[in-house]
Amino acid sequence: GDSVTQMEGPVTLSEEAFLTINCTYTATGYPSLFWYVQYPGEGLQLLLKATKADDKGSNKGFEATYRKETTSFHLEKGSVQVSDSAVYFCALSDQTGANNLFFGTGTRLTVIP
Amino acid sequence: DAGVTQSPTHLIKTRGQQVTLRCSPKSGHDTVSWYQQALGQGPQFIFQYYEEEERQRGNFPDRFSGHQFPNYSSELNVNALLLGDSALYLCASSSLGVQRGQETQYFGPGTRLLVL
C-alpha cells in the first residue's frame, strides 16, 4: 500500500543554517506530494505541494522537488529562522478518488538563535 | 473567510463512554475527512464524507462512525472508548469539484481527546 518514510528527528539547527528533511514514498500510480507544518498547539498547515514528476513546490523559502526516479520529495530551506521551529510532515495523496492523505511520522525542527 | 473549525478543543472521557466531535468545513468546500493523530505520530486517515455519504474508510473499527449534514458540516462519533483512542482528532476539508490531483485538504486545529 501507499506509504511515506520520513527522516527521523528531532533536528536542531542554528539560525541561518541550511535545512534538509528527507522524505521518500511508496505508491501505486502517480500521487500528489505535500509538506505540512504543525506549530505547537495547532493543527496542520499546508506548506507546499507538487502534483507531478519534476514539479517544484515552494513557499516561505522552503522548496521540495517531486523526484519520481528516486521516489523522493525532500524539503529544503537555505536559511532557517527561529520561527521555523515546528513539526514537519511529508504526505502523499492517493489516487483512488477520495484522495485521502498518507503521512510520515513527522520531523521536529528546533532552530536556536 | 473562516477556515475549518472544530469543537470542542479538548475533551476528557472514561473508557466505555461515547464521544461526538464536530467539524465545519472551509467556506466553499463540500468534502470532509477525519484523521487521528496519536502523540508523536503522523495523522492517520479515518474516513471521508461527501454528499452526506462515507466515500472511503481507513483501517479503523466500526466503533468509529460519522455523519455529514446538508450544510457540509460533519460529526465523528466514537463508541466504547478505549485508552488507545486518546489522540488529536483532525478534520480536513476540500472540494471534490477541483481537478483531481489539484485539490488541497485544509485542516482544522483539532480536538484533543483524552480517555481515562
Residues A27-82 have pLDDT tens digits of 887 888 999 999 987 889 999 999 889 999 999 999 999 999 999 999 999 999 99
Does the pLDDT at position A98 exceed 70? no
Chain A, chain B: beta-carbon pairs less than 8 Å apart: 65
Query: Sign of the C-alpha dihedral, residues B51, B55, B58, B64?
Result: positive
Select the residue from B4, B23, B56, B112 to test the A interface by mutation, using most A Cβ atoms within 10 A: B56
Q: Which cell is A92 given?
A: 502523499
Average pLDDT value for residue range A3-22? 94
For residue B40, the model assigns a pLDDT of 87
| Chain B residues in contact with A101 (beta carbon < 8 A) | 33, 35, 43, 45, 92, 105
For residue B100, the model assigns a pLDDT of 55
What are the percentages of helix, strand and coil residues in chain B, rounded to 5? 5, 50, 50
Check if the beta carbon of residue A70 is closer than 8 Å to that of residue B69: no
| Chain A residues in contact with B44 (beta carbon < 8 A) | 103
Q: What is the DSSP letter of A72?
A: B
Q: How far apart are CA A81 and CA A13, in angstroms?
A: 9
